[in-house]
């Protein structure tokens, strides 16, 4: 099978955005943990915080393998930082001005937003790994293999928490921990199935 071509400059931009996403992710989880009320959710996010720190190390190792400076700044990286800072500020605002329940919901939404970007970054990196060849392909694939499953959990499980805690706040029966957690969802299709079948778990 012939390899697809890809834009090497845009790959570098993606990797630097990934570095910033993982750095910002740490700050997002530190703030989210202050907002979390549910003990299971707290435990879950504590684990995701540790994994996010591991992802920072994985991206740094990838940068070295690609001969890149992990601290290099680009316009798009600044935008990623701005978005991450904004999510932290939103949670601080919720903590200061609203109820604990409202702050927890805000934190869930902020984590989903942060993890949507994080998940997309790694999926894109996996795509380039397929198109690349030689040492570059290996470095990309190694990084992807280490992190990809974590990112499925971070996004899909937190989406489940967000939905069920919202449902609970609306005074309706909620599945807690969410079905995504119980069913160990790892794909978009699995997440959709878990949501469809949630009422069977009530």
Instruction: Tell me which residues touch Fe ion (CB under 5 A).
Output: 55, 115, 118, 151, 154
Burial class (CB in 10 A: 0-12, 13-18, 19+), 126: middle
The first and second tokens of residue 167, run together, are: 């449902």
Least distance in Å: CB of 155 to Fe ion? 7
Least distance in Å: CB of 78 to Fe ion? 19
- Which C-beta is closer to Fe ion: that of 118 or that of 181? 118
Least distance in Å: CB of 159 to Fe ion? 12
As a whole number of angstroms, the distance between CA 137 and CA 157 comes to: 30
Least distance in Å: CB of 143 to Fe ion? 11
As a whole number of angstroms, the distance between CA 19 and CA 95 comes to: 27
As a whole number of angstroms, the distance between CA 179 and CA 37 comes to: 19
Query: Tokens 């790694």 sit at which residue?
Result: 122
- Which C-beta is closer to Fe ion: that of 52 or that of 136? 52
Peptide bond into 177 cis (omega under 30): yes
- Which C-beta is closer to Fe ion: that of 125 or that of 174? 125
- Which C-beta is closer to Fe ion: that of 21 or that of 198? 21
């Amino acid at each position: 099978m012939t390899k697809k071509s890809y834009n090497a400059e845009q790959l570098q931009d993606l990797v630097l955005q990934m570095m910033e996403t993982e750095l910002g992710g740490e700050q997002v989880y530190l703030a989210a943990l202050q907002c979390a009320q549910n003990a299971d959710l707290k435990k879950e996010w504590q684990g995701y915080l540790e994994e996010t720190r591991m992802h920072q190390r994985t991206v740094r190792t990838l940068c070295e393998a690609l001969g890149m400076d992990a601290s290099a700044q680009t316009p798009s990286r600044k935008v990623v930082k701005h978005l991450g800072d904004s999510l932290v500020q939103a949670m601080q605002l919720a903590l200061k001005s609203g109820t604990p329940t409202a702050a927890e919901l805000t934190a869930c939404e902020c984590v989903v937003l942060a993890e949507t970007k994080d998940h997309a970054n790694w999926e894109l990196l996996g795509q380039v790994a397929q198109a690349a060849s030689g040492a570059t392909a290996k470095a990309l694939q190694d990084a992807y293999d280490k992190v990809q499953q974590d990112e499925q959990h971070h996004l899909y499980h937190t989406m489940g928490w967000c939905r069920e805690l919202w449902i609970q706040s609306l005074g309706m029966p909620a599945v807690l921990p969410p079905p995504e957690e119980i069913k160990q969802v790892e794909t978009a299709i699995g997440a959709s199935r878990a949501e469809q079948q949630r009422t069977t778990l009530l």
